[in-house]
Amino acid sequence: MTAIVTVRDLRKRYGDIEAVRGISFDVLQGEVFGLLGPNGAGKTTTVEILEGLRKADGGDAIVDGIDVSKEPAKAKHRVGVQLQQSAFPENFTAKETVELFALCYGVTVDAMALLKEVDLADKAGQRQEKLSGGQRQRLSIATALVNKPRVLFLDEPTTGLDPQARRNLWELVRGIRQSGTTVFLTTHYMDEAEVLCDRVAVMDHGQIIAMDPPRALITALLGRGFSKPVIQQQANLEDVFLDLTGHELRED
């Protein structure tokens, strides 16, 4: 598999704080790649450099063959972006929001088809500010898909969502991956990374401290003699919650 995102010795500093300290990694074409880490680890800075929103202090960031620091505008055409806080201009309907972003890329889209893809067709005429958190995250993904990106960046896409909305978003991400788009996501939910990601990189204090498929990392940990008290239960509280409240989306 070929790399679609290549990062080499990437550095970024804000004043005294070294947010990213010379990290290197590849994201392979077609995979779901997860960048994990606690708050302040440098995930968002890394993603924003790749999205062309921030300038790196040093190192290379290549997306789909384009050096992001040299040709940010060109790189922006190749990627889809969902920022951590997905906010859109007010007084636009969901459909108009999609059209607005298509216009920003200079492309025309079938906004209704895109909204259908993210299960928002029935909300097309509603003002985006009236949508629920989960609906707005899905709208955010629709706007990130207007330019048929090669890589889709999702920065903490499920933060603040209820269990139903989270699972719904996971399905959406799986569908996007299946259509051939590479997905680069950051999260600090390990269960999310475990079910969604083909490979993950764990970042802390501006450095990557581990990188592998989730299963490999778990196996390696067990291999180092790790064990935790085994509790024999076939379900957890979330399973109970979903069993009681159902998988149906609760939004309106």
Partner 1 sequence: MRQALLLTLMYFRAYVRDRTAIFFSLVVPLMLLLIFGSLNLGAFGKVSLAVDDQANNAASQQFVSGLEKIDTLSITRESSDSAVAALKRTELDMLLVVPKDFAIAPTRAGQPVPTLTIYGNDARPQQVSVGESIVIEVITRLSFAVNQTAPVISLKQEDVQGVRLRYVDFLVPGILGVNVMQLAIFSVAFALVVDKRRGVLRRIMATPLKPSTFLVSQVVTRLIMATLQVLIMIAVSVFLFDVHPLGGILPLLLVALFGAVLFLTIGFALAGWAETENQVPAIAQLITLPQFFFSGVFFSKEAAPEIIRPITNLLPLTFLNDALREISVQGATLWDVRTQILGLLVWTAIGLALAVRFFRFDRF
Burial letters for 204-232: b for 16+ Cβ neighbours within 10 Å, e otherwise? Answer: eebebeebeebeebeeeeeeeeeeeeeee
Least separation in angstroms between residue 125's CB and partner 1 is 13
Out of 15, 39, 106, 227, the only residue in the binding site for partner 1 (CB under 8 A) is: 106
Q: Does 170 bind partner 1 (CB under 8 A)?
A: no
Instruction: Determine contact, residues 154/85, Cβ cutoff 8 Å.
Output: no
Residue 32: φ, ψ to 5°? -100, 115
Is residue 105 within the footprint of partner 1 (CB under 8 A)? yes
As a dihedral over the C-alpha atoms of residue 149, residue 167, residue 251, residue 118, rounded to 10 degrees, the angle is: 20
The candidate with the shortest Cα–Cα distance to 125, out of 149, 94, 156, is: 94
What are the DSSP E strand ranges found in 47-189? Answer: 58-63, 66-67, 79-82, 151-155, 182-187
Rule CB under 8 A: say whether 124 interacts with partner 1. Answer: no
Name the minimum Å distance from CB 100 to partner 1: 6
Instruction: Residue 133: count other Cβ atoms within 10 Å of its Cβ.
Output: 15
∠ CA 123-127-129 to the nearest 5 degrees?
110
85 sits near partner 1 (criterion: CB under 8 A): yes
Q: Binding segment for partner 1 among 27-35, 88-96, 194-202, 237-245 (CB under 8 A)?
A: 88-96
- Smallest gap, in angstroms, from Cβ of residue 130 to partner 1? 12
Cα 114 to Cα 181: distance, rounded to the nearest angstrom: 15
Nearer to partner 1, 51 or 192 (CB): 51
- Residue (6 or 84) nearer to partner 1, CB: 84
Q: Decide if residue 90 touches partner 1 (CB under 8 A).
A: yes
Task: In angstroms, give the least distance from the CB of 183 to partner 1.
Answer: 16
89 near partner 1, judged by CB under 8 A:
yes
Q: Which of residues 197-216 bind partner 1 (CB under 8 A)?
A: none
Told to check if 104 binds partner 1 by CB under 8 A, we report yes
Judged by CB under 8 A, how many residues of this single chain contact partner 1?
28
Compute the distance between CA of residue 157 and CA of residue 172 in angstroms, rounded to an integer. 11
Contacts with partner 1 by CB under 8 A lie at: 51-53, 55, 73-74, 76-77, 81, 83-92, 96, 99-101, 103-106, 147
